[in-house]
Structure 1
Amino acid sequence: MSEELETNADKILAEAMRMSEKIEADIAQNPKKYRVLTGDRPTGRLHIGHYFGSLKNRVRLSKLGVPTMILIADYQVLTDHDAFDKISENTKELVIDYLAAGIEPGENVCIYPHSHVPEANQLMVPFLTLVTKSDLDRNPTVKDEMAKSSIPLNAGMYTYPVHQAVDILFCKGNVVPVGKDQLPHLEIARQIARRFNNKFCKGIDPIFPEPHALLSKTPMIMGLDGSAKMSKSLGNTIMLSASDDETAKAIKKAKTDQDRHITYDPVNRPEVANLLRIISLCTDETPEAIAERIGDGGGGMLKNTLTEALNEHLRPLRTKRAELEQQPELIKKVLNEGVEKAREIASKTLLEVRHVMNMEI
């Protein structure tokens, strides 16, 4: 990365952090000022990394009264996965995980797959006219895919950031909970909103807000094998749907180190620190206090403590999840109602867009 790009990235991060803190301070007092857009790709059931990293925050925001759009990004699965035969099944599994975690669909919360909202997807063409090839080439995700892929990059993946902008802007989302690594995607959405408003809304109120990041405060949860990130594809996860025994079995295989005395040292003992953080997320103790309590108990006691804490913390979720698995009609109802609401919102936005682009008939 050039020095100029690094400087620009630093400026974007600094501004995102400033705005995130400002929004966090205001959102509890003025929840209706904001509309959150968040979601997942339906590539399988969710794991504890999703739960602690995003699901719990979605529940918190929705219960504060923040209008919340939860997108199931089924079209995006086609950009880099061949498992399209499981998209419908995985979509329903996501809804079960959402509801089990405490998300309550209704007036304030909408859950929907974007393939069922054609009015929103019609924004893709005008949005593509507002970005250049250079804009897309600079996106880190696109660059990474171009570098590591052994097959030609398909146009769906190449234009992935624009489709994300569609997902955010069709409902006029102005807050997107993300990690720092996702800021470049959000910056493209901000650019598209700005360019659309500047081009088509001269002398009138802008149609699209420039969305801001709500940066996650939860540290990234590493995989149990000590890899950089918990991932289903690497098989280093604990699924929310796992049983107590399956959880215990997975944790037994977790990577620690040779030092028997347990300390919280994220720099020099990242694997041990990761397990301590997960316990902390379950019990609300500090990682340092947990490490001191375990002391010379070693990796065995650390893993036993994590197993007990995680199983106890997830017990209500897993009980509810098992009940929801027996209610397929409820899951279908949630999706149908979410699609209906999302299409209504998208239709209103599309009418505004056609009006300012002089495409009414």
Structure 2
Amino acid sequence: MSTEAERSIALENKIAASPERFRVLTGDRPTGPLHLGHYFGTLQNRVRLQNLGVDTIVVIADYQVLTDRDVADDLPGHVRELVLDYLAIGIDPARSTIFTHSALPALNQLLLPFLSLVTVPELQRNPTVKDEIAHSHQGSVSGLMFTYPVHQAADILFCKADLVPVGRDQLPHLELTRTIARRFNDRYGRVFPEPEALLSSAPALLGTDGRKMSKSRGNAIALRATADETARLVKGAKTDADRVITYEPERRPEVSSLVLLAALCREVEPERIAQEVGDGGGGALKRVVTEAVNDYFAPIRRRRAEFAEDPVLVSELLREGNLRAGAAAEKTLAEVREVMATVY
């Protein structure tokens, strides 16, 4: 077991014992519909932490939409859809704070001193940035893309979050945040905690084409998809020629991802789904998956439709969340100015 995994287990034990001691920062870029991979990978865990009593803060990182694109297409629409997804899955604005990045000037002012604490080679070596640049749709790399990890550090540290749920691919980002916090504290005086990674234990779901499920690749099943849309997308999912269904992620990744999806929705072991389908082949597997997904997400989709009928719900929720998060950002910025002796 890795050191990070051992740390995560220890953190989970501490959270279970005293959830009120912790503050978690998590969020999404509003670039398109959230999908089933998001749900089982991160969203479900956010609701769990919130319900345990952890102070949960969710950032809608609208500025960061521009890291890998020239314009933020239909940004208000994407933000609204994101909030409706949050509400539908169980994020409760009475217990969690949802805010938009661009609404907090004080948060973004932290970026300047934070940039002074990292070097260009450190940013160049960040493997997550390298990967994002490699998959960018832009011909050249913007300064925003290059400094993306520092923006994330500001998102995390403005509210002094001490927990950040991440996958392993995001660990380099969080390590840079910890470095920034440590260097700031050493140089000016202690202001920031060094946030810990809460590793996701959720296995990754593949998209319908066998690649990583992604909003930009058109291979995902959206949370808001209808039952008919779900059936169509699952029917078109990639499988293989072996008629006997087994759960072997290494040897049969596409089939195993479908088996896993059904298992997650039914809350059973994947092997049980594989045994149930048996020699029914890909068609039978897809029927089982479609039924499992539609049964599981039916109440979520109903709640979402009900929330969507209220024309002012999202704007009022964001106004309240922005005020709460803004107050925290102003307080932190005042501390930063004090220790940096920039209060005039």
- TM-score for the superposition, normalised by structure 2: 0.97
SS in 2 for 1:84: coil
Aligned-partner Cα distance in 2 for 1:285–1:139: 38
- Does the alignment pair 1:121 with 2:108? yes
Which deviations, in whole Å up to 9, do the C-alpha atoms of 1:224-279 show, x marking residues without a partner? 1111x101211111111111111000000011110101111111111111001101
Structure 2 partner of 1:340 = 323
TM-aligned CA deviation for residue 212 of structure 1: 0.8
Match of 1:322 in 2: 305
In structure 1, which of residues 144, 149, 161 is the aligned counterpart of residue 131 of structure 2? 144
Please name the residue that 2:280 is paired with.
297
Aligned to 2:154: 166
Q: Read off the aligned partner of 1:134 and give its amino acid letter.
A: P
1:109 aligns with 2:96: yes
Please tell me the residue identity of whatever aligns with 1:226.
G
> In the alignment, residue 300 of structure 1 is paired with which amino acid?
G
* Structure 2 residue identity aligned to 1:224: T
Equivalences for residues 307-318 of structure 1 within 5 A: 307-318=290-301
- What's 1:184 paired with? 172
Distance 1:48 1:83, change over 3 A: farther
> Which position in structure 1 is the counterpart of 2:342?
359
* Kept in 2: contact 1:38–1:176 (CA 8 A): yes
The alpha carbon displacement at 1:146 in A equals 4.4
- Residue 81 of structure 1 is aligned with which of 69, 72, 91? 69
Query: 1:216: which partner in 2?
Result: 200
Would you say how many aligned residue pairs link Structure 1 and Structure 2? 343
Distance in structure 2 (CA, Å) of the matches to 1:199 and 1:341: 29
Given residue 101 of structure 1, which amino acid in structure 2 is its aligned partner?
I
User: What percent of counterpart residues are identical?
Assistant: 55
| Cα pair distance change 1:219/1:190, threshold 3 Å | same
Is 2:236 the partner of 1:253?
A: yes
User: Equivalent residue of 1:110, what SS?
Assistant: strand
Q: Which shows bigger deviation, 323-332 or 178-187?
A: 323-332
1:65 and 2:28 matched: no
Alignment equivalent of 2:270, drawn from 282, 287, 298: 287
**Aligned-pair distance for 1:88?**
1.2
Alpha-carbon distance between aligned partners in 2 of 1:137 and 1:328, rounded to the nearest angstrom: 44
Please state how far the C-alpha of 1:73 moved relative to its aligned partner.
0.3
Contiguous gaps of at least 5 residues in structure 2: none
Runs of 4+ aligned residues of structure 1 deviating over 4 Å after TM superposition are 145-150
Is the contact made by 1:145 and 1:153 (CA closer than 8 Å) also made in structure 2?
Answer: no
Contact 1:16–1:212 (Cα < 8 Å) also in 2: no
Taking the aligned partners of 1:90 and 1:294, their CA distance within structure 2 comes to 38
1-side partners of 2:178 and 2:78: how far apart? 30
- 1:142 is displaced (CA, Å) by 2.3
- SS of the residue corresponding to residue 322 of structure 1 reads helix
Cα root mean square deviation, aligned: 1.2
Partner of 2:43: 55
2:216 match: secondary structure: helix
- Kept in 1: contact 2:221–2:233 (CA 8 A): yes
Take 1:337 and 1:145, find their aligned partners in 2: how far apart are those partners? 33
How far is the alpha carbon of 1:182 from its aligned partner? 0.4
Q: What SS does the aligned partner of 1:251 have?
A: helix
